[in-house]
């Protein structure tokens, strides 16, 4: 069901654009760095890093795919806080839902809340570094 080009916790394509914006006027020094990748109706990926005075404090990677008839949706995400010592404290989610004729909302078939593995945490940390580096290069 996953398109090969687009998956949770993989490095970003070379042409991915990092968008930088302030979080709020009430939170000076807080910024969000985000990357959105889309394959139209087939899939969407959103990666976001929140910075406080240039230091990453939270991160998330979210993907959703749909395919088939009836439509089947796969949603995967990982997100949480990055502690001062660099340790990631977060959660990994995976859900599958199916479109049911006559119903407005898809029917959830499977939902799992998981503890991120060391490999997933390492991959998210690598994404954070990549996004922060790209944002720094792009702002020069």
List b or e across 87-119, with b for residues whose CB sees 16 or more CB atoms inside 10 angstroms.
Answer: ebebebeebbbebeeeeeebeeeeeeeeebeee
Residue 70 pLDDT > 90: no
pLDDT at 6: 65
Residue 15 pLDDT > 50: yes
Q: In this structure, are residues 47 and 35 in contact, taking their beta carbons and an 8 Å threshold?
A: yes
Residue 126: closest CA among 5, 8, 40: 8
pLDDT at 4: 43
How do residues 100-119 score in pLDDT, each as one tens digit? 888 888 888 889 999 999 99
Residue 3 pLDDT > 50: no
pLDDT at 41: 66
How do residues 24-46 score in pLDDT, each as one tens digit? 889 999 999 999 988 666 788 99
Q: In this structure, are residues 120 and 9 in contact, taking their beta carbons and an 8 Å threshold?
A: yes
Q: What are the domain boundaries of the chain? A: 19-138
The Cα 84–Cα 67 span in angstroms is 40
Q: In this structure, are residues 53 and 60 in contact, taking their beta carbons and an 8 Å threshold?
A: no
Cis previous bond, 70, omega within 30? yes
Give, as one character, the DSSP assignment of residue 84: T
For the chain, give the percent of residues with pLDDT over 90: 54
């Amino acid at each position: 069901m996953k398109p090969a080009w687009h998956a949770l916790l993989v490095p970003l394509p070379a042409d991915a654009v990092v968008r930088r914006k302030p979080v709020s006027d009430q939170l000076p020094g807080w910024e969000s760095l985000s990357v959105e990748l889309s394959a139209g109706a087939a899939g969407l990926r959103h990666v976001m890093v929140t910075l406080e005075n240039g230091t990453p404090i939270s991160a998330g990677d979210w993907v959703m795919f749909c395919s088939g008839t009836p439509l089947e949706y796969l949603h995967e995400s990982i997100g949480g806080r990055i502690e001062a010592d660099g340790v990631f404290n977060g959660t990994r989610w995976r859900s599958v839902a199916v479109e049911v004729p006559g119903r407005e909302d898809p029917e959830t078939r499977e939902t799992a809340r998981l503890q991120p593995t060391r490999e997933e945490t390492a991959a998210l940390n690598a994404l954070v570094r990549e996004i922060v580096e790209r944002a720094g290069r792009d702002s020069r």
